Amino acid sequence: MADRPPRPERTGVLLALPTWLTLGVFFLLPLAILFVISFGQRATYGGLKPIVDLGLYLRSGKFLANYARSLHPIYLQIFWRSIWMAVVTTLVCLVVSFPVAYYIAVAAPARRRNLLLGLVVVPFWTSFLIRTYAWMFILRTEGLVNRFLVGSGLTHGPLELLYNNFAVLIGLIYGELPFMILPLYASLEKLDLSLLEASADLGAARSSTFWRITVPMTMPGIVAGVILVFVPSLGQFIVSDLLGGAKTILAGNLIQNQFAVARNKPFGAAVAFELTAAVLLLLFAYALYTKRKGQDVLL
Amino acid sequence: MRGRGRFLSVYAWLVYVFLYAPIAILVLFSFNRARQTAVWEGWTLEWYRSLAGNDLILASVKNSLIVGLASTAIATVIGTLVALALGRHALRGEGFTRSLLYLPVIIPEIVLGAALVTFYGVLSFHLSLWTVVIAHVVFCVSYVAIVVRARLSGFDRSLEEAALDLGARPLQTFWRVTLPLITPGIVAGALLSFTISIDDYVITSFVAGVGATTLPLQIYSMLKVGVTPEVNAVSSLLLALTVVLIVIAQRLQQAPVERGEMS
């Protein structure tokens, strides 16, 4: 039809347009609305209280009420728990994963490498819900662990293994482990082994080779893994809801509760944005880091 | 050195056992005759049979399939297009587009769910199966775009340039050179997108209307009531399905770019 070929730039825009529209309308706009609502107030029966005089509302400082409320010790305690659990999860995953990734990338026989990697990829993609449920099944009062404990006479009666911090941590570590192994593997695979040999030849002890060569060389993978585990742990909802009890509420549960049970959307929105801000800050730091290292990010 | 290598391999296999044992136990007990306890009382297919007669589960499977297929179809088309824009065309706002594709993957699911349900509320959208489809498209586009984009950068442009030099028109080059080469990536992206869609609980729980219960929502409500062998059976089936899809997707992503594929 048109004799002239379309200008390349126009083709690019046309190809990107459906995504811009979809994500603009159904992603950015909803986030913007949620942000605005976080400054609002809840009406008596849920919903939003209409604002009569916007100027007065802003001047009175009421628009910050939800954010102020989130600083109440009850909620601070929830945020604190979310943070330390995410930190513990990340550290445990890092320590547990590093030797596994090293084994797959360096030590394992080459013919097994694909299989070993595939075995990590499968849980990476499979349902978090079902993998969490598996632990509920194992740890519950009538579960396998308790049957073993009671059956072997180690304890007199079944222990309450579910609905506490321990169960939530197990679920988090179990769920996030593949997200640490994969980026570590990607970095270790690129590790130049001759550097390690050179270091050993020059008389460095194994531990100093590890700390001064292996770790710095694989730092991009370590940082990526830390981000990939820490960020989802911070916003976790399923694990704490299923394996945790009333005392193990995390930020994710608090948000969900405000929307589904308490019907206080403005407060839920404010907490959601605090969580988002924390996540974006971390990612911003990560982007700066990768830029400094001159690496390409995923896309 | 050998001793250390042995230690490392034993350790790695122990971690694999940790990763797989809980799933294996769950699947094993879906065949256990005992209803209440963790005592093994012999094999049975009873729980799978009772699934087939459970209307709630069947309805949720149907919903999940509708949502998974619809959202995957939409996400695959627009995700592939945007990957082409990023990989093969000069694009104004390239950085913005990349960030836009990252965000839905990175932002906590709970935030996305809350934002969408608020948005639907403001627009007085009636929550239904279609509000779920839209939500799933939002997070599936990114996965398709990332996988297809990786495939595009996996082969050099000289193949396409050769076609153009030999007189093929741009569209012809696309259909006969580029598309066949990136098809494994597109299929892999679609499979992953379908997997994420049928597995999603958090976002769906916010935006699903009455009668739009998907399989994960159904499983969740069942296990909130209590652990039953039926939950094990339906979970095992969902696991089996996703594992098959993932393995295929994985193979496709690793498929080499060869001449043989182009025919």
Helix residue ranges, H only, A24-155: 29-37, 54-60, 65-69, 73-102, 110-125, 128-139, 144-151
| Rounded Cα distance, A67 and A72, in Å | 9
Domain-located, residue A169: yes
- Show the domains of chain B with their CATH numbers: 55-262 (1.10.3720.10)
How many separate domains does chain A show?
1
- Minimum-distance CB partner of B78 among A9, A19, A33: A19
Q: Over the Cα atoms of chain A, what is R_g?
A: 25
Domain-located, residue A203: yes
Question: Chains A and B: how many Cβ contacts under 8 Å?
Answer: 251
Percentage above 90 pLDDT, chain A: 45
Domain extent, residue A211, equals: 67-293
Q: Region B213-227: what's the mean pLDDT?
A: 90
Q: Region A203-217: what's the mean pLDDT?
A: 87
Q: Which amino acid is at B94?
A: E
| Rounded Cα distance, A255 and B129, in Å | 23
| Least confident segment among A35-49, A172-186, B182-196 | A35-49
Domain-located, residue A266: yes
Quote the minimal CA–CA distance from A6 to chain B in Å: 10
Answer whether residue B37 shows pLDDT above 70.
no
Answer whether residue B29 shows pLDDT above 80.
yes
- Residue contact A127–B231, C-beta within 8 A: no
Joined tokens for residue A120: 């990590």
Domain-located, residue A142: yes
pLDDT band at residue A247 using 50, 70 and 90 as cut-offs: confident
Whole-number pLDDT of residue B257: 63
Nearest of A216, A121, A218 to residue A177 by alpha carbon: A121
pLDDT digits 0-9 by tens, A46-87: 677 777 778 888 888 788 889 999 999 999 999 999 999 999
| Rounded Cα distance, B47 and B53, in Å | 10
- Residue contact A272–B110, C-beta within 8 A: yes
SS (H, E, C) chain B: CHHHHHHHHHHHHHHHHHHHHHHHHHHHHCCECCCCCCCCCCECCHHHHHHHCCHHHHHHHHHHHHHHHHHHHHHHHHHHHHHHHHHHCCCCCHHHHHHHHHHHHHCCHHHHHHHHHHHHHHCCCCCCHHHHHHHHHHHHHHHHHHHHHHHHHCCCCHHHHHHHHCCCCHHHHHHHHHHHHHHHHHHHHHHHHHHHHHHCCHHHHHHCCCCCCCHHHHHHHHHHHCCCHHHHHHHHHHHHHHHHHHHHHHHHHHCCCCHHHHC
Quote the minimal CA–CA distance from B180 to chain A in Å: 18
Distances (CA, A) of A148 to A108, A151, A233, B167: 34, 5, 30, 73
Higher per-residue confidence, B66 vs A204: B66
> By CA distance, what is A127's nearest residue in B?
B199
- Minimum-distance CB partner of B22 among A97, A134, A283: A134
DSSP β-bridge partners for residue A48: A42
pLDDT band at residue A263 using 50, 70 and 90 as cut-offs: confident
pLDDT digits 0-9 by tens, B178-201: 898 899 999 999 999 999 999 999
- DSSP character for A137? H
Quote the minimal CA–CA distance from B259 to chain A in Å: 24
Whole-number pLDDT of residue B263: 34
DSSP β-bridge partners for residue A6: none
Domain-located, residue A48: no
Query: How many CB atoms neighbour CB A197 within 10 A?
Result: 11
- The residue with tokens 């040999």 is A197
- Minimum-distance CB partner of B38 among A143, A242, A297: A143
pTM of the entire predicted model: 0.89
Whole-number pLDDT of residue A2: 43
> By CA distance, what is B250's nearest residue in A?
A118
pLDDT digits 0-9 by tens, A91-122: 999 999 999 999 999 888 888 888 898 899 88
- Minimum-distance CB partner of A34 among B114, B223, B238: B114
- Residue contact B118–A34, C-beta within 8 A: yes
Higher per-residue confidence, A167 vs A2: A167
A252 contact residues in B (CB cutoff 8 A): 108, 110
Whole-number pLDDT of residue B259: 45
Joined tokens for residue A286: 């990560």
Whole-number pLDDT of residue A299: 43
B79 contact residues in A (CB cutoff 8 A): 19
Higher per-residue confidence, A8 vs A121: A121
What's A250's domain CATH number? 1.10.3720.10
- DSSP character for A156? S
Residues 6+ apart with CB under 8 A from B163: B172, B173, B176, B177
CA A104, A109, A112 angle in degrees (round to 5)?
70
Whole-number pLDDT of residue B261: 43
> What ipTM does the predicted assembly reach?
0.89
pLDDT digits 0-9 by tens, B88-99: 887 888 889 998
> By CA distance, what is B199's nearest residue in A?
A127
Q: What is the rounded average pLDDT for all residues in chain B?
A: 89
Q: Over the Cα atoms of chain B, what is R_g?
A: 23
| Rounded Cα distance, A140 and B206, in Å | 28
Nearest of A101, A30, A63, A61 to residue B125 by alpha carbon: A30
Q: Is the dihedral of CA B222, B225, B231, B232 positive or negative?
A: positive
pLDDT band at residue B6 using 50, 70 and 90 as cut-offs: confident
Answer whether residue B262 shows pLDDT above 70.
no
Question: Is A158 within 8 Å of A188 (Cβ atoms)?
Answer: no
DSSP β-bridge partners for residue A42: A48
pLDDT band at residue A210 using 50, 70 and 90 as cut-offs: confident
Domain-located, residue A24: no
